[in-house]
Amino acid sequence: MSFISSRGTADKPTPRWTALATITEAKEELDAIDLQILRLLQENAFTSYEEVGSSVGLAESTVRYRVKKLQELGVILGFTCVVDLRKLGYDLMVFANIDAEAGKEKLAAQKLTRMPNVIGLFAASGSSDLISIVVAKNNEELSQIAEKIRSLREITKISFSIALKTYKWECATKVPLKG
């Protein structure tokens, strides 16, 4: 199970729009043209249906239908604006390794996903039950967020690692599509 946040930053000076896409059980229903459409929308979700159609050799109405189908199948999850968090004052990105009470991991995850500074949350194998990505404007805000997380009854342990430098960050991951 994964939890997806649509907020994040790319190491680019200006915000950009991207399409969030994932291939699930629907992959058997996708053809090469669907994959081409996804590639184009992942590159630039502002691309008009007319432009996409011109690139893949289809009419605008057919592209519109296919995009709607991809949304209904759950392949396209949404369209989002990727922002530079540092330019919005969020100077700290922290990875939190979280342990939850046995059998209460899902409840802990539900509560954590409601926290606006938790921008990513994942069920994990290994030494932690959950791994989250947390953003904060400064150490004081991070301390407040940590206390909020620690106050959840389901949480038994939490440890933080602060990201010192970002080498790659793609909030809306571009899935390598073949076809």
Give per-residue pLDDT as tens, 100-140: 999 999 999 999 999 999 999 999 999 999 999 999 999 99
Give the pLDDT score at 17: 38
Give the pLDDT score at 106: 96
Give the pLDDT score at 93: 94
Q: How far apart are alpha carbons 173 and 161 in whole angstroms?
A: 22
Provide mean pLDDT across the span 64-81.
Answer: 90
Chain-centroid distance of CA 93 in Å reads 15
Query: Of 50, 56, 34, whose CA–CA distance to 175 is shortest?
Result: 34
3-class SS shares of the chain: helix, strand, coil, % to 5:
35, 25, 40
What's the mean per-residue pLDDT of the chain?
83
Amino acid symbol at 74:
G
pLDDT grade, residue 36 (50/70/90)? very high
pTM for the whole thing? 0.69
Task: List the structure tokens of 38.
Answer: 């996804």
Amino acid symbol at 28:
E
Set out the domains of the chain in order of their start, with CATH numbers.
2-82 (1.10.10.10), 86-162 (3.30.70.920)
pLDDT grade, residue 1 (50/70/90)? very low
Give the pLDDT score at 80: 78
Give the pLDDT score at 144: 96
Q: How far apart are alpha carbons 1 and 130 in whole angstroms?
A: 11
Task: List the structure tokens of 27.
Answer: 């992959």
